[in-house]
Amino acid sequence: MEKIEDIRELVKVYLEKAEEKLRSAKVLLKEKFVDDAISRAYYSAFLSAKALLLLLGSDVKTHSGLITMFNLKVVRGGLLPREIGRYLSELFEARQTSDYSPISLFDIEDAKEYIKKAELLLSAVKEIIYKRIGV
């Protein structure tokens, strides 16, 4: 495992990228690129979850591994309510569909909902990291 200072810096970078992906999702939605907006919203959630897990001692390499570990360490560990914890899985499923389905199954309202969920997850993760863990 890396030195604690390096981990803290990496966590900050992940959170900055998570915020960038969220801003990107909003720009894409404004231009009515619904599927791409959903995909960016997921990556915002993915990066924020990765940042928190890294601080908790888990450096996960796959999407499914990250979701599993997030549910174990963060949701079941009591750091986040189950409702917010489910957002990561929901966003992953929506991203899979939006990226790989030959037809678009989502509309603007769906994208708004997924972006809001990514925003809530990022906010909750930042609160844990900055207030509870003290990074």
Of 28, 13, 43, 45, nearest to 119 by C-alpha is 45
pLDDT computed for residue 133 by the predictor:
67
Which CA distances in Å does 126 have to 19, 54, 73, 96? 11, 13, 16, 25
Provide the pLDDT for residue 1.
46
pLDDT for residue 131: 83
Count of C-beta atoms within a 10 Å radius of residue 73: 18
- Cα–Cα distance for residue pair 34/53, rounded to 1 Å: 29
Q: Name the DSSP class of 102.
A: S
**4-133, superfamily in CATH?**
Nucleotidyltransferases  domain 2 (1.20.120.330)
pLDDT of residue 84: 93
- pLDDT for 135: 63
Which residues of the chain are under the pLDDT cut of 50?
A: 1
Domains of the chain, by residue range, sit at: 4-133
pLDDT for res 5: 72
**Residue 78 has what pLDDT?**
92
pLDDT of residue 41: 98
